[in-house]
């Protein structure tokens, strides 16, 4: 780590810390784990994973995408210490996956799917933070799924919040949102004061001061500590400190279920981390390329450490990474600082942290969500063509209406299908000049091109002179050869003349090409 950009990295780390704190607590609560387990995971993600990470800008910590798996695993294994052993084993598996260079698989993810994931995350952030901005905090911070545990969904939760507004929260969120927009605008204008002091910190301070002002002068607008504020567990004595840590139970190693849970955590956590790493590289203003294999090793080390001291499993988290990048992070030092601040704050000033209203954090996250899901991104993807826009928009819709993992799976399937489809169309070019037809294999052709080739051959008319050029194809699949052989046999019966160039196999002969024909054909 370098101290060259300490000012910017400290500002970014501070902003990430303020956002991460309630997310870690909320995810722990939703997972059915001790509240401190989320904080421990956040500290490990910042102070341990950062040291080994393959990226300069990613933030690791407990993720909402694992909450259901964690909750089910704790129930299945019988206790939280038993579950911690699964976390340690998952870390070992992830490290081995990195050592085996399994991270290279992330390179096969279409860029349209990654762009769709970023936009969808932005939309979900905004939708999920609206209730908190209105003062309705029935659901935990960090929830991401469309269908919620309380049998509501993202949209019905917003409607419920509109029916139970808290005027104090609305005032705080509106003022804080306006403040961060104004601060960001002046920062982009290059005014040094606004570039030096992080807007996220100003927003949080404004939220705290507004709520304290309400308590003094307008008590009916003040927010309740029990539901509308950050709630960090307070360590009062040595017994509380010891109770904050849990340790893995070795006896569970004789139970096969722990290995199933570990494998599930490792696979799902690795997939989410690799996708988030690809997204981080797209957001990184310096366009650095991260090592996915190194990231898998780092996540493995982090999960081993987190499991050993009682923390939740970790992944790279796109939301926090976005906050980090948009707050001006330059190096991995910002991630380390956010972990260090979390450790120091939980030990030294937990009561002060509990003065932070969720409404001001909601304003900060809504701003981040907007930056991820700008209309300009939709326009750009549409201008790149339907083969990019359709996988992009399907990924967005799927994530918004399911959850991150299911939505990504749907987007990936559609994206890969479009890659295959467009690749097949571009492999074979057809040109016609009167009764002369050129069928040109522009690159290797496989059985996936068979349907298109048969359509082209079926469309030929009596009297056509067909020239099939396969010079550029280094590989031609057996099914393609067979189709051409059958066409060669049937061509005289259809009144079609055919000539081949660069295609040799069994009955398909190499005949002298007619260069003059090739010059006059109009290639599509």
CA distance 51 to 47: 7
Per-residue pLDDT, 514: 39
Rounded to 10 degrees, the C-alpha dihedral 230/232/233/234 comes to -110
Residues in CB range of 33: below 8 A, 6 or more apart: 70, 74, 80, 83, 312
The answer on pLDDT for 7 being more than 60 is yes
pLDDT in tens, 46-58: 999 999 998 999 9
Asked if residues 486 and 521 have their Cβ atoms less than 8 Å apart, the reply is no
CB 402 within 8 A of CB 153: no
Query: Whole-angstrom Cα distance, residue 99 to residue 106?
Result: 15
**Backbone φ, ψ for residue 385 (5° rounding):** 110, 160
Nearest to 140 by CA among 272, 269, 33, 273: 33
pLDDT, position 504: 63
User: pLDDT tens for residues 152-182?
Assistant: 899 999 999 999 999 999 999 999 999 999 9
Position 64 pLDDT exceeds 80 = yes
Work out the percent of the chain whose per-residue pLDDT is above 70: 95
Residue 497 φ then ψ, to 5°: -95, 140
Element (H, E) at 515: helix 515-520
**Which residues have CB under 8 Å from 520's CB, separation 6+?**
433, 436
Instruction: For residue 398, give both structure tokens.
Output: 């799927």
**pLDDT, position 505:** 54
Of the candidates 121, 128, 134, 115, the residue with the CA atom closest to the CA atom of residue 26? 128
Q: Measure the CA–CA gap between 35 and 12, rounded to whole angstroms.
A: 25
Q: Work out the angle between the directed axes of helices 111-133 and 256-283 (0-180°, nearest 10).
A: 100
Confidence band for 445, pLDDT divided at 50, 70 and 90: confident
Tokens of 449: 């091109």
| Main-chain dihedrals φ then ψ at residue 500, nearest 5 degrees | -115, 145
pLDDT of residue 519: 36
DSSP for 312-355, please give it: PP-EE-HHHHHHHHHTT--STHHHHHHHHHHHHHHHH-HHHHTT
pLDDT at 24: 93
Q: Supply the angle between the helices 35-44 and 292-309 in degrees, to the nearest 10.
A: 140
Contacts of 419 (CB under 8 A, 6+ apart): 110
- The number of angstroms, rounded, from the C-alpha of 503 to the middle of its chain's C-alpha atoms is 45
Q: Which two tokens stand for residue 280?
A: 């981080």
Cα→Cα distances 34→39, 140, 338, 350, 440, Å:
10, 14, 21, 17, 65
CA dihedral 62, 64, 68, 74 (to 10 degrees): 20
Measured distance between the N- and C-terminal CA atoms of the chain, rounded to whole angstroms: 53
Give the other-Cβ count within 10 Å of 43's Cβ.
25
Q: How do residues 254-310 score in pLDDT, each as one tens digit?
A: 999 999 999 999 999 999 999 999 999 999 989 898 999 999 999 999 999 999 999
pLDDT at 375: 94
Q: Looking at residue 106, what is its pLDDT?
A: 82
Model confidence at 68, pLDDT cuts 50, 70, 90, reads confident
What per-residue confidence (pLDDT) applies to 58?
A: 97
User: What DSSP string runs through 392-456?
Assistant: HHHHHHHHHHS-HHHHHHHHHHHHHHHHHHHHHHHHEEEEEETTEEEEEE-S-B-GGGHHHHHHH
Q: Which two tokens stand for residue 137?
A: 């905090």
Residue 239 has a pLDDT of 81
Task: Report DSSP letters for 72-110, one per residue.
Answer: HHHHHHSSHHHHHHHHHHHHHHHHHHHHTTGGGGGGGS-
Confidence of residue 520 (pLDDT cuts 50, 70, 90): very low
Report CA-CA distances (Å) from 227 to 169, 207, 211, 356, 494.
12, 15, 14, 12, 80
Q: Is the pLDDT of residue 393 over 60?
A: yes
Mean pLDDT of the chain: 89
Q: What is the pLDDT of residues 322-381, one digit of tens each?
A: 999 999 999 999 999 999 999 998 888 888 999 999 999 999 999 999 999 999 999 999
Strand-pairing partners, residue 439, are 430, 468
Q: For helices 333-348 and 6-30, what crossing angle results, to 10°? A: 60
DSSP secondary structure code for residue 496 in this structure: -
How far is residue 466's CA from residue 456's CA, in Å, rounded to a whole number?
Answer: 11
Tell me the average pLDDT across 399-417: 91
- What pLDDT sits at residue 226? 66
Most trustworthy range by pLDDT among 80-94, 243-257, 383-397, 510-524: 80-94
Task: Indicate if the pLDDT at residue 139 is higher than 70.
Answer: yes
Coil/strand/helix, residue 14: helix
Q: What is the pLDDT, as a whole number, of residue 243?
A: 80
Structure-model confidence comparison of residues 290 and 474, the more confident one: 290
Radius of gyration for the chain, computed over Cα atoms and rounded to the nearest angstrom = 29
- What pLDDT score was predicted for residue 515? 37
Cα–Cα distance for residue pair 98/51, rounded to 1 Å = 16
- Residue 323 neighbours by CB under 8 Å, 6+ apart: 15, 16, 19, 59, 200, 364, 365, 368
Residue 12 has pLDDT above 60, yes or no: yes
């Amino acid at each position: 780590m370098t101290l060259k950009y300490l000012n910017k990295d400290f500002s970014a780390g501070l902003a990430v810390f303020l956002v991460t704190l309630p997310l870690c607590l909320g995810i722990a609560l939703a997972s059915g784990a001790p509240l401190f387990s989320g904080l421990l995971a956040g500290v490990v993600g910042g102070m341990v994973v950062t040291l080994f990470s393959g990226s300069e800008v990613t933030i690791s910590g407990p993720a909402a995408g694992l909450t259901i798996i964690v909750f089910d695993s704790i129930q299945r294994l019988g206790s939280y210490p038993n579950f911690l052993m699964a976390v340690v084993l998952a870390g070992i598996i992830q490290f081995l996956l990195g050592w085996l260079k399994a991270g290279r698989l992330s390179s096969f993810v279409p860029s349209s799917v990654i762009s769709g994931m970023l936009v969808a995350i932005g939309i979900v952030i905004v939708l999920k933070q609206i209730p908190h901005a209105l003062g309705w905090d029935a659901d935990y911070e960090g929830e991401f799924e469309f269908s919620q545990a309380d049998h509501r969904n993202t949209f019905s939760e917003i409607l419920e919040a509109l029916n139970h507004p808290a005027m104090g929260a609305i005032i705080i969120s509106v003022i804080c949102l306006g403040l961060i927009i104004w601060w960001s605008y002046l920062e982009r204008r290059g005014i040094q004061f606004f570039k030096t002091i992080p807007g996220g910190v100003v927003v949080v301070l404004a939220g705290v001061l507004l709520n304290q002002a309400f308590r003094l002068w307008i008590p009916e607008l003040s927010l309740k500590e029990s539901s509308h504020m950050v709630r960090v567990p307070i360590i009062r004595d040595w017994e509380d400190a010891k109770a904050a840590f849990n340790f893995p139970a070795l006896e569970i190693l004789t139970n096969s279920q722990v290995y199933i849970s570990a494998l599930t955590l490792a696979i799902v956590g690795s997939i989410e981390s690799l996708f988030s790493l690809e997204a981080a590289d797209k957001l990184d203003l310096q366009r650095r390329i991260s090592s996915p294999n190194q990231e898998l090793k780092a996540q493995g080390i982090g999960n081993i450490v987190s499991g050993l001291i009682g923390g939740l499993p970790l992944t790279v988290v796109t939301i926090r990474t976005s906050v980090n990048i948009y707050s001006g992070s330059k190096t991995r030092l910002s991630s380390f600082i956010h972990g260090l601040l979390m450790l120091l704050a939980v030990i030294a000033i937990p009561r002060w942290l509990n003065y932070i209203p969720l409404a001001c954090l909601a304003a900060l996250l809504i701003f981040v969500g907007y930056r991820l899901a700008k209309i300009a991104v939709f326009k750009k993807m549409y201008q790149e063509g339907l083969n990019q826009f359709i996988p992009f928009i399907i990924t967005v819709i799927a994530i918004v209406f399911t959850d991150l993992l299911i939505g990504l799976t749907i987007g990936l399937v559609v994206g890969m299908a479009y890659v295959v489809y467009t690749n097949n169309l571009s492999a074979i070019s057809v040109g016609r000049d009167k009764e002369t037809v050129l069928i040109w294999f522009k690159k290797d052709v496989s059985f996936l091109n068979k349907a298109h080739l048969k359509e082209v051959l079926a469309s030929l008319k009596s009297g056509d002179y067909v020239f099939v050029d396969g010079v550029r194809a280094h590989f031609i699949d057996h099914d393609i050869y067979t189709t051409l052989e059958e066409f060669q046999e049937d061509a005289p019966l259809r009144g079609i003349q055919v000539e081949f160039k660069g295609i040799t196999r069994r009955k398909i002969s190499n005949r002298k090409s007619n260069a003059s024909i090739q010059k006059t054909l109009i290639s599509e």
